[in-house]
Amino acid sequence: MGFTSELLEKHASLWHRATHHPFLEETAALTIPQPVFAQWLIQDYLFGVDYTRFLALLSARAPGEFMESLGRSVGVMLDELELFRKMAERAGVDLAGAKPLPTCRAYTDYLLRLAYRESFPVCFTALWTLERAYHEAWSWVKENLKGESPWQEFIDNWTTPEFAAFVAWLGESLDRIAAGEDPEELAQMEENFVLTCHYEERFWQMSYGGEGWD
Amino acid sequence: MGLTDQLIAAHRELWRRAAHHPFVEALAAGTLEEEKFRHYLIQDYLFLIDYCRVLALGSAKADTVERQGFFAKLTEVTLNTEMELHRSYCERNGISRQELEKASPAPTTLGYTRFMLATANQGDLLDIAVCLTPCFVGYAEIGTRLAGLEGRPTSGPYHEWIEMYSDPEWVGLCGEFRQLTDRLAEEAGVTDPSLPRHQRLSAIFAEAVRWEWMFWQMGWTLEGWPEEIA
């Protein structure tokens, strides 16, 4: 069994929470309150800006074989940010001057810390974890969608065949990377898989309120 | 005068020497020995791999989403357009992509890329822009000049090389790059040459121009590691 399958099996319940949050259920059921989704939209946009930096740093550090795909993913992320701006405008949400909530801030700081301090395999683990989580979460929404969603473009964005292929490539690459690592490094990778899952779960929850800097 | 022109003017002789290196002149005249061109092109490919890392660092360190995007676009163009010239030339000449990527970097290639990576890791976006300027702006200048010369090669690899580096779209990107550098310098308030920061930028620029000259020289002399220590 590959490293990624092992992680998903060993931490199945955590993985489920990260990819099947009520936020997603309500989005699929078309019952999600507009302010909750709008808050998520703002926070995920802010997340995306720093996440793009994470990708750029990773591509700068990547071994040759990964550099090209990672470099290209920076461009894909920038298109995605454009989608967020478009959706925000349509929903009457103001992105200018938006401030990250504590969970968003913690998540992006965590990723940038990885990019500046941790090994490439550890960074790559976090990358795979969060991309795979997004693909799975939004694929579930798509399959269970109860009608026309005002957020259809988001649902489509993370369920395209191109995105599925990218996530699959990340998983295969991570399995290959992991096959050459020692137990100590693998433990670090696992630890950061777990952390990333926790951040994913909290990120969905964040939009329901109760977070602020006061 | 923008920072780019200030820096070129401050190092005019050095800039001229790099832009008119015998390698460039021989390429323009079509008299360059192909062995030298091949050596240069393989080394340039290795150079560009690390150059993309520097562009990615620029994207990571950019202060606005728009500038993040601009550096990402430069990375994309370098990876998919510029490096495609190298790949297709090598393919036509029986050098596989694997061989190309496994080639051993010459001392000058290593020196130039380590210099850029160190500058980009330590510095901010303006440092990154300045250390890329001699390569980016220099190539656009050389490409444009060569494309206007009478008696330049009108077919074959030297022709393709000149076409790419004088392509209006590519030259346009260089123009945008120049404007960004100048704008960053204005925002940082470092256009006064007596400022220490200006002098540090000037030193980065001069070192990069020297490496540009060295890079042509590396192709011209078929530079590699001495056999005893290769």
Would the pLDDT of A65 be above 90? no
Positions of B annotated as catalytic residues are: 135, 212
Instruction: Tell me, yes or no, if A60 comes closer than 8 A to chain B by beta carbon.
Output: yes
CA dist A143 and B204 (Å) reads 55
| Topology of the domain covering B3-221 | Heme Oxygenase; Chain A (1.20.910)
Instruction: Tell me, yes or no, if A56 comes closer than 8 A to chain B by beta carbon.
Output: yes
Mutation pick from A49, A52, A113 vs chain B, by most beta carbons of B within 10 Å, is A52
**DSSP tag of B44:** H
Instruction: Tell me, yes or no, if A123 comes closer than 8 A to chain B by beta carbon.
Output: no
A33-53 pLDDT tens trace: 999 999 999 999 999 999 999
Taking a C-beta distance cutoff of 8 angstroms, is the pair B24, B218 a contact? no
Per-residue pLDDT in tens (0 to 9) along chain B, 230 residues: 999 999 999 999 999 999 999 999 999 999 999 999 999 999 999 999 999 999 999 999 999 999 999 999 999 999 999 999 999 999 998 888 888 888 999 999 999 999 999 999 999 999 999 999 999 999 999 999 999 999 999 999 999 999 999 999 999 999 999 999 999 999 999 999 999 999 999 999 999 999 999 999 999 999 999 989 88
Phi–psi pair at A97, nearest 5 degrees = 75, 5
Does the beta-carbon distance from B59 to A81 stay under 8 Å? no
Does the beta-carbon distance from A78 to B68 stay under 8 Å? yes
A106, with CB counted inside 10 A (0-12, 13-18, 19+), is middle
Classify B143 as helix, strand or coil.
helix
| Residue among A54, A60, A78 minimizing CB distance to B69 | A78
pLDDT of residue B98: 85
What ipTM is given for this predicted complex? 0.76
Does the beta-carbon distance from B68 to A71 stay under 8 Å? no
Cα separations in angstroms, B10 against B149, B171, B211: 27, 23, 17
Identify the residue whose tokens are 């750029």. Answer: A56
Angle at B59 between CA B57 and CA B62, to 5 degrees: 105
pLDDT of residue B94: 87
Mutation pick from A45, A53, A86, A116 vs chain B, by most beta carbons of B within 10 Å, is A53
* CB contacts < 8 A (A, B): 60
User: What is the least distance, in Å, from the CA of B76 to any CA of chain A?
Assistant: 6
Domains of chain A: 3-15+33-206 (1.20.910.10)
Classify A96 as helix, strand or coil.
coil
| Residue among B54, B75, B101 minimizing CB distance to A74 | B75
Taking a C-beta distance cutoff of 8 angstroms, is the pair B72, A56 a contact? yes
User: What is the least distance, in Å, from the CA of A14 to any CA of chain B?
Assistant: 31
Set of chain A residues whose Cβ sits within 8 Å of the Cβ of B73: 75
